[in-house]
Structure 1
């Protein structure tokens, strides 16, 4: 039975740019490059035709309304990667410190005042101080995008929900290596977040900006 004080708690909340952060997960050269495009043509087509244009639209929209834009990248903190999680070591994920593979994709380049968080685990809440930063900034809503839907995006959605944030996943601004995996992941973590399209998210942001004018 629902407690009386829980009746006002809903996922579909008004957009507040001061309390909302757009998070781009692992949108970096390691994840999408010419070699990846050649070996995973379906993934490449999805990123090139849908995800990248949508991410660019979202970044522009969030900047326009004055909302926070933040990035994560997989990147070793040490030269030999000894700081990586056990899973990253077992999976042989080695993204060198300050390497080209660790850089955010040029088409999504961070602004000079954006936060970029290097991480060495799938879950950004596990291997960075993102929660501390979001609390300091006053963020309670995390708009989650990027790669891969069934790995780092999935971890972030679930962890954000468990830590008392309102996660929103943008379904057409994230991707994984197959359509089936993407669809299955969205369904698997749907109970932890609100799921919107890029157009729906931009609509919320635009309407909120117009209402304040």
Structure 2
């Protein structure tokens, strides 16, 4: 059986993960207009509150994250991998179904940035980016919190479809992505972060999340090519010291 080493962030505590495409999901987190589009939603708010603070993030999303996720979708779907979109937003304009801490923080951001209904699921910013639009057979799960498992039925959806392993992509690395990925690993899913398919507002935050996840929870693969190889070959992802 082929073996693929994780990115080397030192000694890990996780067990090797063998990829079976029919039991694997590509999880695409928060790739929506409110959160992952230059000049819209959160990008506007951040730039108004702290000018220039979203430039690194917006550029990485445009040049690296979106093209890489698009490539993974196109290559993994024919192999039988399930596409799962995780989208954050409230069904209520007053955000009553979100945790109080988030509700208060989001309202402050909207007020400071002069953008209304940033996190309202009925608003135009809720939809997934056109470049990554879900296909009819894909699964779309709405969440009400940063972590995908705490504010949605994601766990039930994955288990109903026989999912055992997850490639995690999306934004932002140190927030919704890391929280969801850690929870997935704690629930027994073989969870893999895909570096090139993630983005954060600061490269140091991004790297810190990858390193911390790698030690306690699961492997990190760097590129689209690594993920496709692991899936095509039904490879086992291991720590570099075990390759």
TM interval, short-chain normalised: 0.7 to 0.9
Look up the match of 1:95: 119
Matches within 5 A, 1:49-68: 49-68=63-82
Look up the match of 2:95: 81
Displacement of 1:25: 0.4
Look up the match of 1:204: 230
CA contact (8 A) 1:76 1:95 kept: yes
- 1:165 lines up with 2:189 in the alignment: yes
Displacement of 1:187: 1.0
Matches within 5 A, 1:187-198: 187-190=211-214, 191-197=216-222, 198=224
SS in 2 for 1:126: coil
Look up the match of 2:26: 22
154, 165, 190: which one aligns with 1:130: 154
Cα deviation per residue 1:163-198 (whole Å; 9 max; x = unaligned)? 111111101101110111111111121120111122
CA contact (8 A) 2:36 2:171 kept: no
Q: TM-score, normalised by structure 1?
A: 0.88
Q: TM-score, normalised by structure 2?
A: 0.77
Displacement of 1:206: 2.7
Distance in 2 separating the partners of 1:103 and 1:124: 17
Distance in 2 separating the partners of 1:69 and 1:200: 18
- 1:112 lines up with 2:126 in the alignment: no
Name the structure with the higher helix share. Answer: 1
Aligned residues: 201
Cα deviation per residue 1:123-175 (whole Å; 9 max; x = unaligned)? 11001111111111111101111000000111011101111111111011011
Cα deviation per residue 1:46-104 (whole Å; 9 max; x = unaligned)? 11111111100111112110110000111112232211112321221651122121100
Displacement of 1:208: 4.1
Which 4+ residue blocks in structure 1 deviate beyond 6 angstroms? Answer: none
Displacement of 1:205: 1.9
Structure 1 residues 47 and 34, CA gap change in structure 2 (3 angstroms): closer
- 1:150 lines up with 2:174 in the alignment: yes
76, 81, 85: which one aligns with 1:71: 85
SS in 1 for 2:227: helix
CA contact (8 A) 1:61 1:205 kept: no
145-154 vs 200-209, which moves further: 200-209
Unaligned runs of 5+ in 2: 1-13, 108-117, 236-243
C-alpha RMSD of the superposition: 1.9
SS in 1 for 2:150: helix
CA contact (8 A) 1:21 1:68 kept: yes
Unaligned runs of 5+ in 1: 1-9
Displacement of 1:11: 3.8
